[in-house]
Structure formats: C-alpha cells, structure tokens
C-alpha cells in the first residue's frame, strides 16, 4: 500500500499518516521532516528530493504526508495506490493548529524536523487561514482528482474522515 496524503495545514495529515502507517505496518515519511533543517531553515531542494527519492526507492509500501509540490510530487502521485486530500475549513484548521501549539509548545513533534520546536507566528497563521488555501491550491487538488479519479479521496471535515476510516474504504 502506497498512500499520499495532501491537504491544508492543520487538517490532520500527519495524524492520518501515523494512523494509516500503523494500520498497514508501512513506513511513514512526514515531508516537514525532510523540508526543514533544525531551526526551521529550509533544506536545499536537491537534498530534499534525494531523501524522498531514496525513501521511495527503498520501500515497497509507504505513507507520505505533505504537499511540497517541488519534492518528487509527480512521482508520489503516480506511484500512490491512494491519494487522500484533507481540505478542512479554515477555522477548524486554525483551532487545530492552536491546540497543537499549546500541547507541544517548546517541544519537537515526531512529524517535525529534529530541532524544530513547535512554534506559531503571524506568518504561519496567515498561511493556515489564507495562503495555504488559495483558489489556485484548491484547483490543484481538483486537477489531481481529475487525473487520478480511481485513487482519489477528498475529505472536507472530521466526520467524513471518520466515516472513511470506519468504512474500511481505504483498503484497496
């Protein structure tokens, strides 16, 4: 099983990846751990791509969460058995981001790069509320659904996600 999880910040991509990784006993790659170096410094793109290519090349099954369209994006989508997009409402995502920050402040989450303590700032809040969900980004998700309709799942809220998981429809 190979699953690519995309979607808006705060929608639960990393949590879903961990759940599905445990279900399938599949290795999970959180792209935030690849994209950033300690201190929230962006890793050079060629290094980032090399890490993801190595992961894809060495695992027969995998779960990858994160958008990062410059990081082996087409390959991830092509090779995935299922593409799941979580596109929850902006205020739901904001609430989750604030709860996540409060719970993990001063710590490094397992889905973050080493040395990247949980943080929240105006730039990230703007991303969660606006920049991460522009019409162009949403249209990009729709194009993926048109290109890969047989393996595309678009979930707009927690209830849909829970129904999806409880139905077992994620099993191919």
Q: Is the pLDDT of residue 131 over 90?
A: yes
Domain assignment present for residue 137? The answer is yes
* Mean per-residue pLDDT over the chain, rounded: 92
pLDDT tens, residue by residue, 40-70: 889 999 999 999 999 999 999 999 999 999 9
In-domain check, residue 51: yes
Q: Print the domain residue range for 162.
A: 2-167
**73-126 confidence digits (pLDDT tens):** 999 999 999 999 999 999 999 999 999 889 878 887 877 777 777 888 999 899
Task: Supply the pLDDT for residue 78.
Answer: 98
Decide if 36 is inside a domain: yes
Q: Is 172 part of any domain?
A: no
Domain tally for the chain? 1
CATH code at position 122: 3.40.50.300
Is residue 134 assigned to a domain? yes
* Alpha helix (H) residue ranges in the chain: 13-24, 31-35, 45-58, 73-79, 90-104, 122-129, 135-147, 158-167
| Whole-structure pTM value | 0.91
Judge whether 136 lies within some domain: yes
């Amino acid at each position: 099983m190979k699953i690519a999880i995309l979607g808006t910040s705060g929608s639960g991509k990393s949590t879903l990846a961990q759940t599905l990784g445990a279900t399938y006993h599949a290795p999970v790659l959180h792209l935030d751990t690849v994209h950033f170096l300690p201190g929230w410094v962006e890793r050079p793109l060629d290094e980032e791509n090399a890490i993801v290519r190595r992961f894809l090349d060495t695992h027969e099954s995998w779960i990858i969460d994160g958008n990062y369209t410059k990081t082996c994006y087409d390959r991830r989508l092509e090779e995935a058995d299922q593409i799941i997009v979580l596109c929850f409402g902006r205020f739901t995502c904001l609430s989750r981001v604030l709860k996540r920050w409060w719970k993990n402040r001063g710590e490094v989450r397992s889905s973050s790069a080493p040395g990247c303590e949980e943080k929240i700032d105006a730039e990230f809040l703007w991303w969660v509320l606006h920049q991460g969900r522009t019409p162009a980004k949403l249209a990009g998700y729709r194009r993926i659904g048109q290109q890969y309709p047989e393996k595309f799942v678009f979930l707009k809220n927690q209830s849909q996600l829970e129904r999806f998981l409880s139905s077992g429809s994620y099993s191919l």
